[in-house]
Every structure is written in structure tokens, then in C-alpha cells.
Amino acid sequence: MPASSALLADLSRAIPPARLLTSPEDLIVHGYDGTWLERTPDLVVAVADADEIAAVLCVAARHHVPVVPRGGGSGLAGGSVAFRGGIVLSTTLMGKIVEIDREALIAVVQPGVVNAALQAAVERVGLFYPPDPASLNQATIGGNVATSASGPRCLKYGGTKDYVVGLQVVLASGEVQRLGGRSHQPGPDHNLLQTFIGSEGTLGVISEVTVRLLPRPASRGTVMTTFDRLEEAGHAVGRILGAGVVPLALEMMDRTTLRCVEDYLHSGLPVDCEAMLLIDVDGDADSVAEQVAIVARACRDAGASTVRPAESPADAAQLWRARRSTSSSFGRIRPNKLGEDVSVPRSRIPAMVRAVQEIAARYDLLIPLFGHIGDGNLHPNILCDLRDRPEMVRVREAARAIFAAAIANEGAISGEHGIGVLKREFLPDSLDPNAMGLMRRIKRALDPEGILNPGKVLI
Amino acid sequence: MPASSALLADLSRAIPPARLLTSPEDLIVHGYDGTWLERTPDLVVAVADADEIAAVLCVAARHHVPVVPRGGGSGLAGGSVAFRGGIVLSTTLMGKIVEIDREALIAVVQPGVVNAALQAAVERVGLFYPPDPASLNQATIGGNVATSASGPRCLKYGGTKDYVVGLQVVLASGEVQRLGGRSHQPGPDHNLLQTFIGSEGTLGVISEVTVRLLPRPASRGTVMTTFDRLEEAGHAVGRILGAGVVPLALEMMDRTTLRCVEDYLHSGLPVDCEAMLLIDVDGDADSVAEQVAIVARACRDAGASTVRPAESPADAAQLWRARRSTSSSFGRIRPNKLGEDVSVPRSRIPAMVRAVQEIAARYDLLIPLFGHIGDGNLHPNILCDLRDRPEMVRVREAARAIFAAAIANEGAISGEHGIGVLKREFLPDSLDPNAMGLMRRIKRALDPEGILNPGKVLI
């Protein structure tokens, strides 16, 4: 439904007309995310600052029109797709790194700054911003905050929630709110700050983010290792952590993933093992050498069939090529995938991987699985073809079975992708029944008219 | 005012009479915390489980009586003192470590478990729980969560908020709520979980806590160093972090603190320097040796007048004796102290320390200052005598001036002690005006009758 002329007239009093986008092309390119979910919004507003965000929210409230904040559109749960129509509020023009303070170790950024751009900017001055979702070349910091994104490095360094020290948020009422500050220490409103991290645009629109930074580690090392049995891979993780080494990344690929990737790369991957691990460590050069030795020993002691430390950065990049090629390799096999995201306690990883294998067999689907094994965050990818209706019925049932298996294994149905709409229906199974009511109460307190990203997270 | 017989009758239907405490002795020992604030409650209920907490809250709501949760009573902001009378709900009987899972690296504890008891229990099995408030021998995990407590180690390892992965919370309505779970990865209700961390008993009563654990580092090293000028100490911190070493602890004592401690210990402390730092590093033995060398070099390069690495664990303990003796040494000089807690960006530490010195001179008070310099969390202690009324007027004005200086230096008025009542009146100066309204909205949504710790945090 096109935006009403009354709505457009009200908006054009606050926003320059060039940034009120209504052409079919503009609407279409703001109607998708990193899933296969699509819905063309009625209108796109490309905002330039917090005051404009506030103006859009006030006008939207008057017209009872939903507002869906959107950054890079790389979300994996439909959170930035305007399923109920209304306004997509795009933050991509707010792409400025406001400040990098090397003394205070903080950066202040507008919400539309792309994650990789922030990483590159701070690394140029010897600093380090650890959160690294796979979509880092597209995903914005605002979106990272809204989904509480993390990535491989979060085992050692934590995710977005651990780096945000200050937020500017525009509430549904149009109030511009500052939470936290510039100190690395949590302030008196820390719990309020955290309420917005991972709220997926349902409680407010993030208009500025202050993150803490670390000194950039001098050196990095990589070990590739394979295991004939999943349980051995689990033991290796326990031994590595038990030896006091916390790897930067601890990535696992299961046999199905390895076979998909090998079919694509033909690089001689070990397709008969049950699991391959890629383990990165960082620190100064001596410490890295020592950590690599400890990791290699721990893997051998756990029964690894191969243990191969990278001999150079180029060699490490080659080892990581397999992990980075998963999505491309899946695309060769089936046109679509449902990229899932569950997390389970570390000790339940082998059980969870076997459960996914059993579900793949039961529903006759190919479900390669990889993930951040160090913290139990697994990504089963259900390969499929959206045009194949009977298959899509099985995909849906398999997804449900995977969530049930995660919950049965004391896990959660979202590790790092958020809930959005894709997993909304599974949320009540995953949470304490009271928690849903509590979420609703907070939502009503902050957005009584329900204009902020309606239909997301909560049903 | 003693508890009404109707209230007692209702409570005794849910709680065994032996745990409804009404004797003057029982009331007095539940009427203080780690500050000088005191107020005898009308009644103390020592609860044994979440159901009993729920029952107490339901009865209290019916009788419109405030409920103040209390753990070890070591708080430093009056948060667990029942200033408006009513029920002190003591969790000290809920002192069981329910589970330590070595595979999943988590511990599940009741709220009344003392921090040091948890640390000792996990260390016995080779694990590590980093948050270590100075009150660790008295403070409970429930209280740590309620105040979002941290401690010296938080520079490297983060504070309580970074370790809580699951909570059971009893809401004002009596609903028992589970948030989070057992996974180290944040779940879909992570932002809700964080809402309760640092809420100081105003949003719910914590009835169980699940924390993540780390492998215990094998070794530790200590460096003591002194600086003639504060700015040099600040530069040393920058150089240490810049060299890629993140110390376990980075504690500073200013000249006034050193003089107080030396008068008490007579151990030959360097009383003429502007700052002494104690720097601890941890890891495996080789890495510790290397980190100690890097720290020592960084301090020398920054202009340190003394750099002395500890030669043994006994030597390190001796070096730390000065830091651990601060409170005792202050007690020799004046009977009372207002132990303050501000945090500023690292780059503002010298300015903040000088501001405190200037405030001490202006109000003719002795204000030793020490703190976790690595993350800018400083503890100015205003020494005083509660019986000296003119002095207490100056103490109050000095405290206000210190908060103003923290805010002027882009800091916050609470680093790790919470707001409670002690700093409530300063909160509106410290926060965005809208943030106060937002806090009130969430409070009303969760505790519409206002029975949970009324008068705390919010005015």
C-alpha cells in the first residue's frame, strides 16, 4: 500500500523530500534482509540525524504507521523487514565515525557505520574492535547493537553487548535518550543501556553508539585439526580451555559441511572425519607460538587424526578459506538455505550435532552444520529450494525439530542472529512463559502505541 | 514501627515462624550496610527458596508493605537498608552452591552464596570466577548481581554483568521468572536478563544465579611502581595496554592514601610520590614472566621513580598488604569515612585526582584516593567523624563537588557500588533527564504497587 499523501506531507515538513523514497526501485531494495523473507515497505525514510529520527517517529505515531529501523539489511531473522508495511527508517546515511579516542580507548559512531569500516579505522591507529559477525562488510554497528551480534572472536573477546558503553536512542515518543557514557566502567544506567541491546528495534531507534576498544594484539596463529569422532573434538576444546588458552576463534565444520565445501573448492579437505576445527590464537609473538604448541598438544591428546599449525599468515588464510567458502558451496547445491542459529552448553555439542544429523535423515534434507564450538553457538544450514513446496514443508518441520533439540539440550534458539519474525513462533517454547509477559510489559511501557517494529520478537 | 499482627499472621501461613524475625536484636543486625546508614526494619524474613520469596511479595503487596532484599549487608550505597520500614527479606539461608559443571564451565548458585565461597569452590576444581569486590568475604552473589559489582580484576575479566548467564527472579507480582540459561552465548532474552543486573532490588528479587566460569590461570606476577607525577602514572597505563598486556589488576594509591597507610604499617612506603601502582598479570608461567618484563619496561619508559617486580608470591602478598590496609589505616585517623566511587575515562584520571585534591583543600578534609586505574574507577574516601556536625556539612558538600567533577570529566557517579539512597539525589545530574523517566516507566511496568525496595535508585 503506498504511503498516504497526508503522511508524506507531514514527513516532508521534517525531512528533505530527496530522502523520502517512494519509487518502486527504492522500496524493493529496502524490502529484504539476509534471509529469504521479503516485504516491500510503503515508504523509506533515509534519516540524517537523531532529530530526524524523532520527527519520523512522532509523525508515524500520529498516523499509526509502523516504523522499521534498517541498517545494512544483512540480518538473519527478518528483523528489518517491514512485514506490516509502513516506514522503513534507513540509517545508512548516518555512516560517520564521529571520534576515535586513543587515550580513552573508545570510538563514537553513527548507527550506519559498517562493522568492517570501524574495525579498519581503529586498526589503523593500533586499536581493536573485536565483534565480527560474518556479515561484517555489510552489517552496521546500529544493526549489530539491535541484534546483539557477535561472531567467531566472541569466545575470547565477547560480543557487541560487551563493547557498547554508551548509546543514544530515540524512543517511540520522540524523546532522544542518552544512556551510559564514555567510561569503560558500567554506569548507574547500565541495566537500562543493556535493555536496548538486542531489542531489535522494538524499544527504540539507535542513533549513536559509543564502544570501548582494545589495544590491537601484535600477532596471530592458526591450527587446523580433524577428528574421527565428534566427542573427541569436544574433548579437545575442553583440554585447550583447561590448559588456560582462550582461542580468539574456535570454529567447527561437520562432515556434511566439509563435503559441500570440498565439492566446491577441491582443496583436499578431509571429508571422512566427523569434525574439522580451525583454532586461532592471538597475543604477542612469543605467546602465540606457545599457545599454538599448547593447542596442538591438546588436540593430539584428545585423539585428533590431523593437527596442522599454519606456517605463515598466507597458510592460515588458506586454511580459513574452507570456512569462508561454506555459503558459496551451499549455493552450488541448492538455491536457498535456512541458516539457523542455536546455542547449547559446550558439553552438549556432540549430542546437538548428532540430533541435527538425525533430523536431516528423518526429513530427507541436507543440513550442513558449522559454528563457534568454543561457546556452543552452532549454525545448522537447512539447504532447500523455495519453489519446492513439499520440501519447504519438511524444512519448516526440521527447523522446529532443531529448535526443540536445542531446548532439550539446555540451549537457546538464538545464539547471535536474533529472533525477528523467523523465530518468533518458537520463542514461547524457548523462554519461561512469564518472560514473554515481562517482555510485553516493558514493550508497552516504552512504546504504548506499538509503532516500533511491530510483530518482531514478540507475537 | 513493629509489624502488624495481620501481616505476621498472613506471613506465617507461608513461612515457618522460626524464620520470621521480630526480636530487637534480629532487627538491629539487619538494619545497616557497609555505609554508616542505618534503619531498623519492622520485620526480617529469612527465606529458604523462590516460592517463599513469592509468598512474601504477595503478602507484602496485600498489606502495602515495602520489601527490601538483603544479602551480606556489605553494600556501599544503602541499597539494602529499609529506610521506609517494612520487611527486610534476607537471602543468607539460600547459601547453597547448587552445581558446578566443569564441562559446561558454569556454576548455579543460590543468591546467599558468599562471593569468596564460590571462588574457593570453583578454584578447587581448577576453574575461576573473576568478579572480586573488596567485600568478597561478606558480599553474596545475589547482592553482587543486584549491584552489578565488579572489583580489581574487572579490567581484564569484566564484572558480574559479564558472568551472569542465567537468573531466576521473583517479580513483585510473585511470578517466578527464569531468564537466560546455561549457555555462555547470550540468549533471546539477554537484554531482559541484563535489566535486572544492577537494579538493586527495585525490579525483582534474585532467587538463583547461573554464572559462567573460566579455566583457572596457572600463574600470577606482580609489579610495584611509583611515579613522582600523576600524569606519568597515566602514561604508564597507556603504555602497558598499548604493549598488548591487559593486567589482571592495575591499582593506584595516591599520596594521601600512601601517607595514611604508612602511618599505620611503617613499612617504608614511598610517601613522597604522587602515585603508587600495583600491577598484577596472570597466565601460564612463561607468559607471566614476559608480561612482567613488558610492564616494568613500560613503567620505566613512562618515567617511574621505582619499578619493583615481586620476587615470590610471598613478596607479592607483602606488596599488596599496603593496598589491603587502606580501610584499617583510615580508621586510625578518623572514625568514619564516606567511601566514594566514581568512574572517568582513563585519559581524565590525572584531572580527576587533582580535582579531588583541590576539593580536599577547599573543604579542609582528608580525602585519600585509590582505585582501579586501568578502567578509571576511583574511590575517594572522605574521612570524617559523624558526631562532628560542621564537618559533616563540609563532607556532604565535598561529596557533591566530587560527583560534579566526575561528571565534568565525562565520568559517572557510580563505578561499582550502585546508587542506593546514598547517591540517589545526584542521579538526575548524572543521567540524561529522559533516562530517569525511562527508569520510572520500567519500574512502574514491573512493580506497579512500588513495594520492591522503594526509595532506592529512583526518587
Domains, in order of start, for chain B: 5-90 (3.30.43.10), 98-215 (3.30.465.10), 219-322 (3.30.70.2190), 334-430 (3.30.70.2740)
- Measure the CA–CA gap between A89 and B280, rounded to whole angstroms: 48
pTM: 0.83
Cβ–Cβ below 8 Å for B189 and A431: yes
Cβ atoms of B254 and B369 closer than 8 Å:
yes
Could you tell me which chain B residue has the CA closest to the CA of A289?
B287
B415 pLDDT tier (thresholds 50, 70, 90): low
- Measure the CA–CA gap between A207 and A118, rounded to whole angstroms: 16
- What lies within 8 Å, CB to CB, of A325 at 6+ separation is A261, A264, A265
Maximum pairwise Cα distance, chain B: 70
Identify the pLDDT of residue B291. Answer: 87
Q: What is the crossing angle of helices A313-324 and A255-265, to 10°?
A: 110
The percent of residues in chain B predicted with pLDDT above 70, rounded, is: 97
Quickly tell me which residue has 516493558 as its cell.
Answer: A442
In order, the DSSP letters of B163-231 are TEEEEEEE-TTS-EEEEE-S-SS--TTHHHHHHHTT-TTSS-EEEEEEEE-EEPPSEEEEEEEEESSHH
Considering CB atoms only, which of B188, B198, B415 is closest to A413? B188
Cβ atoms of A122 and A129 closer than 8 Å:
yes
Mean pLDDT by groups of 10 residues along chain A of 459 residues: 88 95 94 89 97 97 96 90 94 97 91 97 95 91 93 85 95 93 79 90 96 90 95 88 82 94 91 94 85 93 95 90 87 89 85 94 96 88 94 93 91 71 72 79 91 81
Considering CB atoms only, which of A185, A246, A348 is closest to B412? A185
Tell whether the model's pLDDT for residue B238 goes beyond 60.
yes
Mean pLDDT value across chain B = 90
Identify the pLDDT of residue B268. Answer: 87
The terminus-to-terminus CA distance of chain A in angstroms comes to 23
B420 pLDDT tier (thresholds 50, 70, 90): low
Give contacts of B211 with chain A, Cβ < 8 Å.
none
Identify the pLDDT of residue A228. Answer: 95
Cα A344-A221-A237 angle, rounded to 5 deg:
25
Tell whether the model's pLDDT for residue B458 goes beyond 70.
no
B135 pLDDT tier (thresholds 50, 70, 90): confident
Cβ–Cβ below 8 Å for B159 and A186: yes
Q: Name which of A184, A186, A438, A164 is nearest B147 in CA terms.
A: A186
Give contacts of B441 with chain A, Cβ < 8 Å.
445-446
B373 pLDDT tier (thresholds 50, 70, 90): confident
Q: Please check whether residue A442 touches B, CB under 8 A.
A: yes
Q: How far is B398 from chain A (nearest CA, A)?
A: 20
- Measure the CA–CA gap between A170 and A174, rounded to whole angstroms: 6
Cα A401-A406-A410 angle, rounded to 5 deg:
140
3-class SS at B101? strand
Identify the pLDDT of residue B416. Answer: 63
- Measure the CA–CA gap between B138 and B149, rounded to whole angstroms: 13
Tell whether the model's pLDDT for residue B320 goes beyond 70.
yes
Cell numbers describing residue A68: 522499521
Cβ–Cβ below 8 Å for B177 and A217: no
Cell numbers describing residue B145: 548481581
Q: Which of residues 132-191 of B touch A (CB under 8 A)?
A: 148, 150, 154, 158-159, 161-162, 171, 175-179, 181-191
Give contacts of B438 with chain A, Cβ < 8 Å.
171, 177, 192, 446
Cβ–Cβ below 8 Å for B346 and A104: yes
Mean pLDDT of B95-99: 98
- What lies within 8 Å, CB to CB, of B102 at 6+ separation is B125, B126, B127
Cβ atoms of B451 and B392 closer than 8 Å:
no
Tell whether the model's pLDDT for residue B459 goes beyond 70.
no
Identify the pLDDT of residue B202. Answer: 94
Identify the pLDDT of residue B201. Answer: 93
- Residue to test with chain B: of A145, A157, A185, A459, most B Cβ within 10 A: A185
The total number of residues written for chain B in this structure = 459
Q: How far is B305 from chain A (nearest CA, A)?
A: 23
- What lies within 8 Å, CB to CB, of A322 at 6+ separation is A253, A258, A261, A265, A267, A269, A276, A278
Q: Which of residues 397-436 of A touch B (CB under 8 A)?
A: 410-416, 418-419, 423, 427, 430-432, 434-435
- Measure the CA–CA gap between A66 and A187, rounded to whole angstroms: 32
Q: What is the crossing angle of helices B326-333 and B313-324, to 10°?
A: 40
Give contacts of A185 with chain B, Cβ < 8 Å.
150, 154, 343, 375-377, 412, 415-416
Considering CB atoms only, which of A182, A423, A445 is closest to B410? A182
